[in-house]
Structure 1
Amino acid sequence: MLARLGTRYRHLRHNHRYGFVLRYVTIIAGVLVTAVGIIAIPLPGPGWAIVFLGLLILSQELEWAARLRRWVMATLNSFYQRFVDGSPLMQAVLGVASTVVVVAILWLVNAFGIVGGWIGVHSAWLQSPLFG
């Protein structure tokens, strides 16, 4: 089914007189989705999945995006197979590192200061240096 949609998309893009508009809309959508994914990488949630979705959208129009998507996926798969699969220590290290990044981002965006204000805790270390 996806192959049929891809064929229909290519046909529309190449044979319709406004096919170039579809090309630019696809590129803009791919750039926006990829940018949102890059912003979301350190946050809890599917940051990498959003980046790959953006690269998938871009790869419909741009060959460099298709090559980059294949390279990133191969590199990540190789990394996980080599270091993470079957290694509880490495899984724990990645879990702790992810937690530290998430807590640091929450502190920087002043989430702890806001929640502390809701429950009546006003401590200097809860306040972000950015929003102090």
Structure 2
Amino acid sequence: YFGNKDALFARVMSFDTDADDLLDAPLAGLGRHMVRHVLASQRDRGADPLLRIAFAPLHGERGDILRANFRAQVTDRLAARLTGPDAGLRAELAVAALIGLGVMYGIARGPRLRESGPDDVADRYGPLVQAQLTPGV
């Protein structure tokens, strides 16, 4: 399907497509959108593509490729959309919050989180992410 092992590896190590979906919202509502995306990925596909970064240490030298792709395709791309000071740090903090949400939902399987509707979770958690994206707004 992918042609060869190298092409398959490149696809597995890429976050491009997932980042397109994750970042596909106006900045003013991006935090809520990102939370809903993480929840929908977990619910609909049984996995959060962003959580692949948590397993980078298991991939040895290839983990370095995974980390570099994650930074370039997710956090750096998000940082480029932000204005104001410390955009890179704020992007990393926002993504860290999303990864934590993904871990609690998909790996720890928090029962109260999983019982909650995506809109309720987005209403509660979206502002936490948004505070990093547009501080002071």
Structure number with bigger Rg:
1
TM-score by length of 1: 0.32
TM-score by length of 2: 0.31
